[in-house]
A and B are shown apart, each in its own frame.
Chain A
Amino acid sequence: MVAGSFLPLIVALALAPLMQGVIIRTKSVVAGRQGQPLTQPYWDLWKLLHKGAVYSQTTSWIFQLGPVVWLVSLLLALTLIPFGGFPALSSFSGDFIVVAYLMALGRFSTVLAALDTGSSFEGMGASREVTFSALAEPALLLSFAALARQTERISLSPVLTAISWSAWAHSAPTFSLTLAALLIVLLAENARIPVDDPTTHLELTMIHEVMVLDHSGPDFAMIQYGSALKMWLFAAIIIGVAPPWHRGGPWAETAVSLAGMMVFAIATGLVESSMARLRLLRVPQLLLVAIVLSALAVAL
């Protein structure tokens, strides 16, 4: 276990909702509206935290535990993610497997909470969420395996710092395949178009949003904040794998990575504005493509 820097965690905690704001703002601008202020997600969280939570009489303690486990597992996963030139708070051999399973734990808790409400609608969402994440997980783990094999390191912080220009020049195909696979996994895991539409409510095709319909007040704030953190986590890994344009010192690198994150958020907004959601039956095919891409990256 190597002690690292607090900076990646602090940056993630502070700026994850801003990233959501940038995505929403981009979509508004493309649609020809002015859109909400960039800080709106923060105000939404603030508002939710000051409300009371309403619990249905059919739910049990599992329902109240769900959001807490969700948020805590994502916070723990974030301590393992490096950012910019700074290593993660902690790193040890095989920590990317822990990251994958912490996210699985968080998802498991929200699924249980959704099932606990006894609503058939939420049960449907839970079933879809589990189906698609079961397909996204092999792609994620194979991508990590490809990165580990290429850089010959088995911990996220060293892996991402080892990706340099010379590494890209040496094995560009592997990295680009991994990048493409991770991008698809990000879209699927974060309930983004073309897999799921984060803005729809009460639609029969939605996946993630349907599971959290019964949460309110601080519980819902935890879910929202957790989703923002999850998006940040995936984007940070993708920015870490992307071609490194930076050379001077960890601070300059962090600044460039932050700019990269914002560009990435704008790009996500553009993708969401220009694409339609896939039919539910086609989603497994998209995830299968991600698995094939990452498997090919491992084999290279």
Chain B
Amino acid sequence: MLIIIGVCIWGALLSPFAMAWTALAGVTGIATLGTARFMFPNVLVEPPSKFKIGPASDYPLNAVSNKWKDQFGVWIVHTDQYEGKDLIYALSTVCTHLGCTPSWLDGEQKFKCPCHGSGFYITGVNFEGPAPRPLERVGLRIAEDGMLEVDKSMKFQEEMGQWVDATSFVDGSLA
């Protein structure tokens, strides 16, 4: 309301010439924004963000599953090393440095990124290289049919304290 009144007062103070220019500038600005919005697609041909990954018993303790890495870009990790709790969670395979895909090195028990050498523990926490923060978790829950379901539209960052969120993990004792 205040804005409209302000515009009216301002308009009254302007000469017709200045008003015409202002209107033109305004319309051009809106058209530019509209064109910019045009460049953002509304429909994406990308894999679904929610998908089932089988029962929790498929994922033994202290192992990293590469099964869904190629198709959906997540690791399923079952470990008791994060704060001593037995958890299953899904880690996004995107390196927090520049988005390369790290590899899980079973021998060295770490995720290692080939681009700039960042290293992450099995928990996803970074410990070497340029990565500024831990890998991100994505949503994981037990669906109605008892299967695990990943939801990639949700993400949880450790440094924001989001890993305590109940949708970021599943109790590992179910496995």
Partners in one complex: no
Binding site for B on A (CB under 8 A): none
